[in-house]
Amino acid sequence: MRYLAMFSLFTLFAARSAGAFPDPKDLPKNPDVPNPLVMFDGTKVTTKEQWFDKRRPELKALFQHYMYGTIPPAKGITAKILHEDPKAFGGKATLREVSLSGVPGHEFRLLIVVPNGRKTPAACFVGPNFSGNHTLADDPKVAVTSAWLYGKEGKATEAGRGMNKDTWNLEQSIDRGFAVATFYPGEVDPDRADVRGGIRPLLPKELETTSIACWAWAVHRCVDYLVTLKEEVDPKRIISVGHSRLGKTVLLAAAFDERIAMTIPLQAGCGGTAPSRGKIGESVKQINDRFPHWFNTNFKQFNEDTSRIPFDQHSLVALCAPRPVLFPNAKEDQWANPDGQFEVLKAADPVYRFLDAGGLDAKEVPPLGKLLDSKLGYFIRDGKHSMTLEDWRAFWEFAEKHLGR
């Protein structure tokens, strides 16, 4: 037993000094969630400096190596305003679409609405949407995306205009004083294993990336743009928000970019906010089989044995510390494992406490419809897998509590 332990430690050291992590099958089994405050080589993290200078970079490397693939490099952006309406929603907001380019030869469109007449710059939600910018507002100038879209036809049409206004609730966010910026991630990387386009063909061949990493990259490019809007958007109050696969995306985006002040991954489930070692809802094997383009090749090697994953999703949350994180859920959405998600927050709590940043102030899941608004926050409502006005009310409340009005 001891020999085995020493042997595996030796392999780990050897692999590390060779500049790489071991093959998934050579990682030690650990049925419990790995302690985020212990380095890959077993060293305990005892100071905040060690957390920020050593353990955080190591966790970022581990998540990219074993799960999400590499987030494409940041090379700055160019932004071009496509159209603007300074009197949107009856004069309450300015609405514009901006073409953003962060890879030569590629662009995607960001839709942004900013409340008019505020004395101070607004806090801003940013995140990817499922159905195209034109489905979120009635303005006929908001372009119908030409990228591949879900559904039988595989493309967006004029018929969808304004159709999903009640998922993003742009006007209601404006009324509450928030700006919102959103894009269709299919313009960055189509959500299919067999359709390419977007940025991937333009990236270096040796870079192993994934859809989730590319979409997170795009969230970062939106932040590049938002921080230039000093009059309109407060660069210290940017909140990443997304639903489901796009919730996985915004959690990853926040974990890797400290300019994001808060993150709200809604019903993100497996590969996002639920434990990979979890026993309820979607498993690592199921998600890898159905969506092979979301995660990298190494991640598939954990299909039969998640106990070898050298982290779990609480460590992705820990990468966000000391920033606030809210996990909203729906009771009927057991596929996303709401109870397991609460355990993920519990397991991230020690890192928040270690950094004197508060944490999860409850031992049990709060009652339906009642927001637990501690630094690590949780919300569960009745109903199904969806993004609703009730969810947005929790988002606004949580954002106002932690970032101010």
Judged by CB under 6 A, the residue of 269, 328, 340, 377 near ligand GCU is 269
Q: Cβ 80 to ligand GCU, closest distance in Å? A: 30
Q: Quickly tell me which residue has 């093959």 as its tokens.
A: 23
Instruction: Give the C-alpha distances (Å, rounded to integers) separating 210 from 64, 189, 248.
Output: 10, 9, 12
For residue 240, the Cα-to-chain-centroid distance in whole angstroms is: 7
Draw the binding track, 273-302, toward ligand GCU (x: CB under 6 A; -: no contact).
---------x----x---------------
Instruction: Answer whether 122's CB lies under 8 Å from 179's CB.
Output: yes
Q: Cβ 274 to ligand GCU, closest distance in Å? A: 9
Draw the binding track, 134-173, toward ligand GCU (x: CB under 6 A; -: no contact).
----------------------------------------
Q: Which of 8, 101, 106, 385 is catalytic?
A: 385
Instruction: Answer whether 298's CB lies under 8 Å from 353's CB.
Output: no
What are the two backbone dihedrals, phi and then psi, of residue 83, each rounded to the nearest 5 degrees? Answer: -160, 160
Supply the DSSP string of 305-371, one letter for each residue: -GGG-S--HHHHHHTTTTS-EEEEEETT-GGG-HHHHHHHHHHHHHHHHHTT------SSPPPTT--
Draw the binding track, 197-236, toward ligand GCU (x: CB under 6 A; -: no contact).
----------------------------------------
Q: Cβ 294 to ligand GCU, closest distance in Å? A: 8
Q: Name the token pair of 303.
A: 């299909």
When the beta carbons of 126 and 270 are compared against ligand GCU, the nearer one is 270
Q: Which of 392, 370, 367 is nearest to 171 (CA)?
A: 392
When the beta carbons of 270 and 319 are compared against ligand GCU, the nearer one is 270
Is 240 among the residues known to form the active site?
no
Q: Cβ 292 to ligand GCU, closest distance in Å? A: 12
Region 108-127 residues binding ligand GCU, contact defined as CB under 6 A:
none
Q: Cβ 211 to ligand GCU, closest distance in Å? A: 11
- Write the DSSP symbol of residue 29: P
Buried b (16+ CB within 10 A) or exposed e, 361-370: eeeebeeeee
Q: Which of 173, 211, 240, 244 is catalytic?
A: 244
Q: Which of 241, 388, 267, 227 is nearest to 324 (CA)?
A: 241
Distance CA(214)–CA(220), nearest Å, equals 10
Q: Is residue 344 a contact residue for ligand GCU (CB under 6 A)? A: no
Is 99 among the residues known to form the active site?
no
Draw the binding track, 312-341, toward ligand GCU (x: CB under 6 A; -: no contact).
-----------------------x------
When the beta carbons of 269 and 278 are compared against ligand GCU, the nearer one is 269
Instruction: Give the C-alpha distances (Å, rounded to integers) separating 289 from 255, 293, 329.
Output: 25, 10, 24
Judged by CB under 6 A, the residue of 65, 96, 237, 245 near ligand GCU is 245
Q: Which residue(s) pair with 98 in the sheet?
A: 81, 110
Judged by CB under 6 A, the residue of 45, 111, 252, 270 near ligand GCU is 270
Contacting positions for ligand GCU (CB under 6 A): 244-245, 269-270, 282, 287, 335
Catalytic amino acids? 244, 385
